[in-house]
Structure formats: structure tokens, C-alpha cells
Amino acid sequence: MIRQHIVFYGWVQGVGFRWRAMQAAARSGATGWVRNDPGGSVTMEIQGTQKAIDEVIMAIERSPYINIDRMEVKTIPLKEGERGFFPLG
């Protein structure tokens, strides 16, 4: 089990990114949150197995409307007892 703080850059706002992330997280069993940032990026904290996190990212990348130019990924401490995956803001 790991937790990652990921910032996505590119064509990531106004294209269903958060909705797709929530749907994929629900399918994979990952927990955490996702939010739009003022500068046009999207930030996500996601917790689960590496496989579950990879599945969420791949589902987001498969969208024909989302174009991720780059991601900044940091592994951060786990949040014990976290349930669900939610949009913030």
C-alpha cells in the first residue's frame, strides 16, 4: 500500500479529469482526492496498491479529451482509515 501526491499538467481541466479519476478509483479500490488548481493543473492524492494507482492513471490517460504533458509524483505517508475518493474544491 502506498500514497502518492501527483500534479498533472497539460489539457487537464474542463475535460472530465476529476470524474474519470473518481470512476477509476472506485473500480480499483483506491482512496484519496482530486482537485483543480488555479494555474490549470490538477492535483491528486491517491492511496492503494501500485497496481490500483496505475489503473487509475491509465484510465485517465485513455480519455480522448485529456492530454497529460507531464506529472510530478511524490510518495507521501499513508492516511490510515481513509475511505472513498472525492473531488475537492
Domain count, the chain: 1
Q: Tell me whether residue 85 is in a domain.
A: no
Does residue 89 carry a pLDDT above 90? no
Active site residue 20: no
Q: Are strands 2-11 and 42-48 parallel, antiparallel or unpaired?
A: antiparallel
pTM: 0.95
Catalytic residue among 36, 62, 67, 70: 36
pLDDT tens, 15-43?
999 999 999 999 999 999 999 999 999 99
In sign, the C-alpha dihedral spanning 20, 13, 63, 52 is negative
Q: Is 21 left (phi over 0), alpha (psi -120 to 50) or beta?
A: alpha
Task: With beta carbons less than 8 A apart as the criterion, state whether 61 and 1 touch.
Answer: no
Where residue 17 sits, what CATH number does that domain have? 3.30.70.100
Active site residue 18: yes
pLDDT tens, 50-82?
999 999 999 999 999 999 999 999 999 999 999
Q: Tell me whether residue 87 is in a domain.
A: no
Q: Tell me whether residue 73 is in a domain.
A: yes
Range of the domain at 23: 2-77
Q: Tell me whether residue 89 is in a domain.
A: no
Catalytic residue among 3, 18, 27, 70: 18
